[in-house]
Every structure is written in structure tokens, then in C-alpha cells.
Amino acid sequence: MARPRGLALGLVGQGWFPDIGGVESHTRDLARELGARGHRLHALALDTRAGLEPFALATEMLEGVAVTRMAYRYHDHRALADLVRAPRAEERARQWADAAGLDLVHVHHASGWGLGLLAALRTARRPVVLTLHDYWPLCPRGQMLRTDGEVCAEATPERCAPCLRATWPHLMPSGSGEHRGPRGEAPADDAAAADARTRFALECLTNADRLFTPSAATRAVFARAGLDARAIDVVENGVDVGELTRETARLRALQPARNELRLGVLGTVLPSKGALELARAFVAARVPGLTLEIHGALPSYHGDTRYVEELRALAAREPLVRVHGPFAYTELAAILARLDGVAAPSRWNEVFGLTVREARAAGLPVLVSDAGALAEATAGGAAGLVVPAEDPQAWAEALRRFADPQQRSAWAQHATLPRSAKEMALQLERAYCEVVRAQRGAVPALDFVPGTEERARGGVLGWLRGWLGG
């Protein structure tokens, strides 16, 4: 039988749509674009529901993607090393990739799977690539933000040990955790356990055939940790905004006239995201007619609920601070239509900043912190304002500037559409084909010349001639 056209591609993450999260939205958009180009898509994610047999696999078709979920509730963690090495999960992932006959696997997050996953998936004929969507390989908490609220510039054993001890005392040598490292070593103390975990994670990253990250700012963080910056390609996330833009405009036209001005904060409420700090600055500024609308899930942060509780308490005292809770992506256009701008007051070094780019697509000005890649969304200040992340007075002044109708109008009129999901998918498709070709010497027949809109002529040789300019 003739081999099907296109690549058989696997996408691995902690979750998959309809799970809520930025990575889940990103992988869904990527899968749609790759599927439209004739590739066959398989996804592997965790199923954290109670009552399932641990490590059992179940597959269903969702939007043209064969989605396999492994039952897992982090039940087997006994040492810090278990956060980065999970042999049973690695074996299940390898079995999944073998059964699907995948040409390439793209790992988007290894939480629950462990970074040993990269070596387990990679074979002589199946390359593996990885996108660094956050700092999880360096920081098990993912965002380089300590339990005391301090943002870390680097992950050192001395800095990590007390933070990890406060987060997972049952995994640390000083608590009830096993004295076991990811290579079977016996760390003497918490600092040694943290060091072993980080060193192992960085070593595992070298097993990827290609590394990607959404921003140069994130690449710089990993370069400071010891990775070769030249080995990490910047692939800016793409966002499908055409439908969002149209629907937001339609719903905005139906909104009744109002006097109050609304600034929104969108996304999961975490200490790293700075919603509470912005709310405090908002209360202090007392800008007439301005309300702060906070939309997003309100989870604990590694079991700590104090941040969310303090935000709720502040909102209970201050009626102009409104905490709305989680929302589905289908509700985003309606939320944006009711806002006059969106803020991202993040304290950690944001890898991308999806919400402010969606806001810009909807014609809203943005106020962002200077952390990580957020500043890029303001188009050099033409579409919004960049504010020092840890400066309450600067945020109060930014709120006052936002309330100026002329300034707000000028920001809103600047057209800055984010990169499309198709553009992102084309860049990744080209990288996939380069890696597969380097590994195998050839690429399966494709419908398009890799990375372009050009139809392939006569299979592999046809698109290769087009690729090489022949």
C-alpha cells in the first residue's frame, strides 16, 4: 500500500483542548494549521481525573486529532527527582509514538512526563523537538518566582533549595522526601537535590533535535543557564485572531452606552501574573470612572491559596475591583467587547503574553510590565504603555494616562495584529522537515513545499526542487 502523504506528527503536553491554558490554546491552533496542510496529527496529554487506572491510555478523535490521554495524578512522587524523571510515563509515551508510527514528536510541556521523555521518544528514525514555553526545566515551579515573591534571574541550588522546600516539603531530603536524584545518586541535602534536578534537566534538553522558544527574552534566560543560544530557535507564537476581531467588533457595536471606563486583566490569577499588585495600585490611584475587571481561573499556586484569598478580600472591600473568575475561550470576544483596554502586570519574565496580543487584535490598547516579552505587544509604545513591573507608583500613573481619552484613542488606532497561527505553523513545518530529512535523508511526500503556500509538484522531488530553487 502507498504511504499516506504528509508527516505523522505527535504533539505532547500536560493538557489538550478543551483543557484551559495558553499552551493548550497554542497546540490546538498549531494542530489545525498543520492538519489543513495534509499532516496527520496525534496528541498525548495527561488525564488527571480521579478513579482511573494509573498510566492507562485512552484515545479519542477531537477536531481531526487523535488525542491520547494517560491517567496520571502525580501519585508516585517520592523525591524531587520525580518531577523531572518518570520512567513509567516515558515508556507509555514511547509505546504511543511507536504505535502511531510518528515521523516526529514535538514536546510542548513535559510536566508529568519528565524530561527523560526526550530520550525515550527519540529513535534513529524519529526525531524529537521541544518548545520552551516557560522555565520549567530550570524551575519546577515554572516561572522563576520564589515563594517569598522574589523573581529569580537564575536558578542556583542555594536559591532554589528553600523555595522548593516550602513548595514540596514531602519531596525534599530535609522533609520526608527520598534521598534520590534523577540518576540514582543520593543527594545529601536540599541544595544538592535541587542541583541534581537542574543539571539533569539541562542535560536532557540536549536530547532534542531542535529547541524552540517563543521569544528572544526567554532564549536569553536559558543561555544564562548554560544552553547554547544558537541551539534555540525563536518561533513566535501565532494567534488566530480574524474571527476574534470580527466577533469582538460585532459585539462591541451592540453594547449600550456607559460612563465607566473598564480595564481588564485576563488569564489565570497567579502570583507571577501581578493581578493583586495591580489591584493595589488601582485602589491607590483612585482614577475617576475607572474599574478593574479581572477575568481568569483562581487556583492555588502549588497548594498556596493566600494570593487569591487576598485578591478576593480586596475586591470585597473595593467595588470597583471586580473578580469574575474563569472563562471559556468562546467567551473571550464578549469579554473584550466590554473592555476599553487590557493590562498584563506580570512580575515574572513572560515568555510571550497571549492575552495582550489578543487584546491588540481586538483594537484595545494595552498596559504591560517590562517583564520578558510583553513590551513587544505595545509596538514601541504606539499601542500602549510599558510599566516597570515592581513600581506601584508607575502603575498608578499608567492608569491615569489610560484614562485620558485622547491617549487611549491614539493607542487603540495603532494597527498591530499578532503573527498568525498559519505563519507560525509554516515556520515549524519547515523546521520539522529539515530535522526529518537530516535524520532519514528524505521526507515523505507532502501537499505543499515546506514552509510555503506553494503546492508540491510531483511529491518529494518536486517540492525539493522548489525548496532549492530548481
pLDDT tens string 421-456: 999 999 999 999 999 999 999 999 999 999 999 998
pLDDT digits (tens, 9 = 90+) for 12-63: 999 999 998 889 989 999 999 999 999 999 999 999 999 999 999 999 999 9
Least confident of 78-92, 112-126, 448-462: 448-462
Q: For residues 162-166, give the mean pLDDT.
A: 95
State the chain's mean pLDDT as an integer: 92
What confidence score (pLDDT) does residue 328 get? 86
Q: Domain ranges in the chain?
A: 8-238+422-467, 242-413
Place 417 in a pLDDT band, splitting at 50, 70 and 90. Answer: confident
Q: pLDDT tens, 179-227?
A: 999 999 999 999 999 999 999 999 999 999 999 999 998 999 999 999 9
* Residue range 8-238+422-467 in CATH 3.40.50.2300: no
The pLDDT confidence band at residue 458, using thresholds 50, 70 and 90, is low
Q: What is the mean pLDDT of residues 282-304?
A: 94
How confident is the model at residue 1, as a pLDDT? 45
**What pLDDT score does 470 carry?**
36
Q: What is the pLDDT of residues 101-111, one digit of tens each?
A: 999 999 999 99
pTM of this prediction?
Answer: 0.88
| pLDDT tier at 464, thresholds 50, 70, 90 | low
Instruction: Please say if the pLDDT value at position 233 is more than 90.
Output: yes
Range from 209-213, 311-315, 329-333 carrying the lowest mean pLDDT: 329-333
| Topology match between the domains 8-238+422-467 and 242-413 | yes
Segment 455-467 shows an average pLDDT of: 58
**Amino acid 160: pLDDT:** 94
* pLDDT band at 349; cut points 50, 70, 90: confident
- pLDDT of residue 334 exceeding 70, the answer is yes
CB 345 within 8 A of CB 277: yes
- Looking at the chain, the whole-number percentage of residues with pLDDT higher than 90 is 81
**Tens-place pLDDT, residues 353-390:** 889 999 998 999 999 999 888 998 999 999 999 999 98
Domain 242-413 has CATH 2.60.120.620: no
